[in-house]
């Protein structure tokens, strides 16, 4: 078993089996005890009906309740600061000490948008980045992301975990073509999202009338 803090950040609006399956595969592949899911605090502006950060956290809690390899992490939702990735990474580094590897897991879609993230060039000072394939998103990096990837990429988990931070690893995993957008749309249109999300998350959506869910 390897010692590292591995996490996946996201809106999780709502969490779905694409997130959960990815997190579990990464946990098994890196041979670490747990992967943490960290919902962001900031409400994302959307046209469709959304929900609060507390509700998004509650759905992640419900989704991982019976899976010991996954945990929900409330640090961004309960923070009084905005959800900047760099702040989260700095907080984690402070908490875990200089030697513990920290791995941030993200889908290819998110990875390709990194140059738009606040102070993104500093992320690798604090953590590694693990990129996972996602249907519909091929690795077609622009010049910036090509250079960044070439400079930091390694190809095996042993090299990655031999250092606390600084590398990029691209993992070809079994991708599930599920998105939260698709889940919200189904619920809004009056269809069941069953089998795309865990049943407890679907129950929570129904109980709280999220995404425009109504009984009639
Ligand atoms: P939305 O459709 O609202 O954008 P989403 O399904 O993309 O939601 P996010 O919360 O935006 O979910 O994603 C959080 C992280 O999970 C991102 O790094 C994203 O790339 C990754 N991710 C989301 N869906 C999948 C999936 N099906 N397979 C692998 N990674 C995924
Ligand atoms: Mg997304």
For residue range 158-188, what is the model confidence (pLDDT) as tens digits? 999 999 999 999 998 878 999 999 999 999 9
Sign of the CA dihedral 209, 68, 176, 41?
Answer: positive
How confident is residue 136, by pLDDT bands cut at 50, 70 and 90?
Answer: confident
Contact predicate 211/48, CB 8 Å? yes
pLDDT confidence of residue 50: 75
What are the extents of the domains in the chain? 5-177
CB under 8 Å to 141, separation ≥6 — which residues? 112, 148, 149
Q: What is the fold, at CATH topology level, of the domain defined by 5-177?
A: Rossmann fold (3.40.50)
pLDDT confidence of residue 137: 74
Question: What's the first-to-final CA gap in the chain, in angstroms?
Answer: 50
Q: What is the dihedral of CA 69, 195, 109, 167, to 10 degrees?
A: 20
Q: Would you say the CB of residue 56 lies under 6 angstroms from ligand 1?
A: no
215 pLDDT higher than 90: no
Q: Which residue's CA lies nearest to atom 27 of ligand 1? A: 18
pLDDT confidence of residue 139: 80
Contact predicate 20/105, CB 8 Å? no
pLDDT confidence of residue 127: 98
Cα 10 to ligand 1 centre (Å) = 7
Q: Which atom of ligand 1 is nearest to the CA of 109?
A: 20
DSSP string, 195-208: TTB-HHHHHHHHHT
For residue range 15-37, what is the model confidence (pLDDT) as tens digits? 999 999 999 999 999 999 999 99
Please give the model's pTM, rounded to 2 decimal places.
Answer: 0.95
């Amino acid at each position: 078993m390897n010692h590292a803090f591995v996490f996946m950040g996201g809106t999780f609006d709502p969490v779905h089996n694409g997130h959960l399956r990815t997190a579990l595969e990464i946990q098994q592949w890196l041979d670490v005890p747990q992967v943490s899911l960290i919902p962001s605090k900031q409400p994302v502006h959307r046209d469709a009906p959304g929900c609060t950060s507390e509700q998004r956290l509650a759905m992640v809690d419900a989704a991982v309740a019976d899976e010991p390899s996954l945990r929900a992490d409330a640090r961004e939702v309960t923070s009084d600061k905005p959800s900047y990735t760099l702040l989260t990474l700095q907080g984690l580094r402070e908490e875990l000490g200089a030697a513990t590897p920290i791995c941030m897991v993200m889908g290819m879609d998110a990875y390709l948008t990194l140059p738009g993230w606040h102070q993104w060039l500093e992320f690798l000072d604090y953590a590694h980045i693990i990129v996972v394939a996602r249907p519909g998103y091929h690795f077609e990096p622009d010049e910036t992301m090509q250079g960044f990837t070439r400079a930091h990429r390694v190809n095996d988990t042993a090299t990655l975990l031999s250092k606390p931070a600084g590398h990029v690893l691209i993992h070809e995993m079994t991708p599930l073509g599920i998105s939260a957008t698709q889940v919200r749309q189904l619920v809004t249109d009056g269809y069941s999202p069953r089998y795309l999300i865990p049943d407890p998350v679907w129950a929570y959506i129904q109980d709280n009338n999220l995404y425009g869910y109504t009984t009639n």
